[in-house]
Structure 1
Amino acid sequence: MIRRTLRNGLVAAIAAVALFPVTAVAAPAAHPANPARHHVTTHAWGRVTTHHYRHLNVRSGPGTGYRVVGTRPVGRALPIVCKTRGSDVFGNHRWYKLPHHEGYVSAHYVHNHSAVRWC
């Protein structure tokens, strides 16, 4: 009787795996000294470096013809999603897109600290 129950349980388990295959994915282990180490950010970082103005305009699109939707103070660190071409700002056509639909800033006024991918 016990053999029959074990055999039926094994058959049921094999059938369940055959019908519902599951792939296990292991998460990277956190380092004991830094529990958030496994978190990977997808943003590059830059810092506002304009010397002529106190604030950098954030625009709705990659160009000076787009409306201003906000500002960032000089020295502020900015998360950068990607870079794209836009209107010319002192010979620089590159613009950085900010996360969460915040807008675009001219790369002429931002010193990036890591590589920025193209949009």
Structure 2
Amino acid sequence: MIRRALKSVLPAAAAVLALLPVTAGAAAASTVAAHPVAAVAAPHPDRTHHYLTGRVATQRGRLNVRSGPGTRYRIVGHRDARRLISVSCKSHGSRVHGNRLWYRLPDHRGYVSAHYVRTGRYVPWC
């Protein structure tokens, strides 16, 4: 009976503890004790998104933001010349001046051609 109870309670307790941040202070611990459901709903630390920034490399005009990775997708917005933008990942799409890479903007807000964006760092694949 006790073994059966431990087998069901220990994995659940380990799952709740795994979701708690390591650097949580006493205030956070008291909040979690008062509201155990909040600890389960908290995002996992490994799932945080770190977006890279790049600069729009076109000197004049605006850079089109498209709904997909290609010039045949509809335009959903613009980014001004020489502005900093955030990118989340890269994917293949239609060619723009020989470059097939497209950067996806965070939160699925669209795609921009990598030909017109300089990141200076590695951008992961989508």
Q: What is the deviation of 1:102?
A: 1.1
The 4+ residue runs of structure 1 with deviation greater than 6 A are none
- Name which of 80, 92, 100 aligns with 1:85: 92
Q: Point out the structure with the larger helix share.
A: 2
Paired AA for residue 56 in structure 2: V
Is 2:23 the partner of 1:29? yes
SS in 2 for 1:116: coil
Unmatched 5+ stretches in structure 1:
1-11, 31-37
Equivalent residue, structure 2, for 1:45: 53
Equivalent residue, structure 1, for 2:72: 65
Quick one: distance in 1 between partners of 2:114 and 2:22?
34
**Identical aligned pairs, as a percentage?**
45
Is 2:9 the partner of 1:20? yes
Unmatched 5+ stretches in structure 2:
25-44
Q: Which has the higher contact order (CA 8 A, sep 6+)?
A: 1
Q: How many residues align?
A: 100
Q: What is the CA deviation profile of residues 18-54 of structure 1, one whole-angstrom value per residue up to 9, with x for unaligned ones?
A: 5411113362439xxxxxxx9x542222111112x32
RMSD: 2.6
- Which of 1 and 2 has greater Rg? 1
TM-score w.r.t. length of structure 1: 0.69
TM-score w.r.t. length of structure 2: 0.66
